[in-house]
Homo-oligomer: A and B are copies of this chain.
Amino acid sequence: MVKKELTETEIAECIPDLWQPLTPEQRALLVKNFTIQRYKKNEIIYCEGETPMHLMCLLSGKVKIFKEGVGGRSQIIRVIKDQEYFAYRAYFAEENFVTAAAAFEPCTICLIPMPIIMQLLRENNELAIFFIRQLSIDLGVSDERTVSLTQKHIRGRLAESLLFLKETYGVEEDQSTLSIYLSREDLANLSNMTTSNAIRTLSNFATEKLITIDGRKIKIIEEDKLKKISKIG
């Protein structure tokens, strides 16, 4: 556990949504219980079955939340980007983790003990409403995802994933290269298909000039057509 001494201003910049509604005393409590942790590429952040202890906020890097299904097949449930909070759901539900989390690339994460968060929640309604909103958004996404993953065909699912990655992590300076470089396997696990089908479908998209691929670099060329493929399933 790398623990750095940070100023209040630095912390405020890390976790603005959490920080803003707090009173000075509440902020002081947060500062006292604030730690920072680094994770290497592909390192596991938490595992299925573990007991949740901390709220986490991703300060830099990219994280996947996933779940091992039948026969060891892994399904990526959602991905986390900069300044997103995670790992708190299970604590609120009084459960152990039903998912696992791992770093796509080197990450910096800040941790705040969940009991501290609970205390703040009891004192501060704006904070509670923040979490209600976050959970509500995530639940809506999860419901939509259930239907997409079960009903769309392979091309639709992969197209959706590509668009989703663009929306979530954005693009590089050329405005079209996805700024996340995933392995074909991760792409498959995100889109509920086998690795070979992810490879095949990806190169189909490339021959159809919807995208270009250069190793793990994916450039989106025909976004509208991808949207159409994603929509019709």
Contacts and interface: CB of A to CB of B under 8 A. Distances in A.
Contacts of A140: 89-90, 93, 95, 98
Interface in A114-160: 121-125, 128-129, 131-133, 135-140, 142-152, 156
Contact of A129 (B75, B122, B136, B143): B122
Contacts of A132: 92, 121, 128, 131-132, 135
Number of copies: 2
A146 B233 contact: no
Contact of A143 (B77, B124, B135, B137): B77
Contacts of A233: 69-71
A69 B151 contact: yes
A148 B143 CA distance: 13
B145 A70 contact: no
A138 B69 CA distance: 19
Contacts of A145: 146
A173 interface: no
Interface residues of A, number: 47
Contacts of A93: 133, 136-137, 139-140
A135 B128 contact: no
B98 A144 contact: yes
A139 B137 contact: no
A75 B147 CA distance: 7
A53 to B, nearest CB: 16
A125 to B, nearest CB: 5
A164 to B, nearest CB: 14
A148 B140 CA distance: 18
Given A77-B143, A121-B125, A125-B128, A192 B150 contact: yes
A62 interface: no
A69 B90 CA distance: 29
Nearest to A193: B150
The 7 closest A-B pairs by CB, nearest first: A128-B128, A70-B233, A92-B136, A135-B135, A93-B136, A69-B151, A142-B142
